[in-house]
Amino acid sequence: DGGITQSPKYLFRKEGQNVTLSCEQNLNHDAMYWYRQDPGQGLRLIYYSQIVNDFQKGDIAEGYSVSREKKESFPLTVTSAQKNPTAFYLCASSFRDTTYNEQFFGPGTRLTVL
């Protein structure tokens, strides 16, 4: 069953703690993305990676970190430096070849800071 999985579905964090959100895909996609979704603001890009061991900052990278050690995995760490981390986080993936354009999304992780 091909697709993108994100875990956990819900995550609660105390202020000052780092948390890591998991994203795994078995679609053989080269590129992976992390978005943050807030009400009324659409999807904002946090980080993206086109190939293993390489990634670029998106529009709102401050307070977040990522790694891309394997093609299938792109975990996102929300650090204590992120001032307002409560949001819905979406992972996505796609082929790099622009002939195949579709970006597939995971089911999301809702992070709440207590």
Point out which residues bind other proteins (CB under 8 A).
Answer: 4, 6, 31, 33, 35, 40-45, 48, 50, 56, 58, 90, 92, 94, 96, 98, 101-108, 110
32 and 74 in contact (C-beta within 8 Å)?
yes
Spatial distance between the Cα atoms of 89 and 100, rounded to a whole number of angstroms: 24
- Would you say 82 or 94 has its CB closer to other proteins? 94
Nearer to other proteins (CB atom), residue 57 or residue 70: 57
Q: Which two tokens stand for residue 75?
A: 């975990």
Phi, psi angles (nearest 5°) of residue 87: -175, 175
Please, what is the minimum distance in Å from the beta carbon of residue 39 to other proteins? 9
Q: Identify the three-state secondary structure at position 41.
A: coil
Q: Please, which residue, 71 or 80, has the CB nearer to other proteins? A: 71
CB of 73 vs other proteins, minimal distance in Å: 17
Cβ closer to other proteins: 1 or 15? 1
Instruction: Give the residue among 50, 41, 37 at the shortest CA–CA distance from 105.
Output: 37
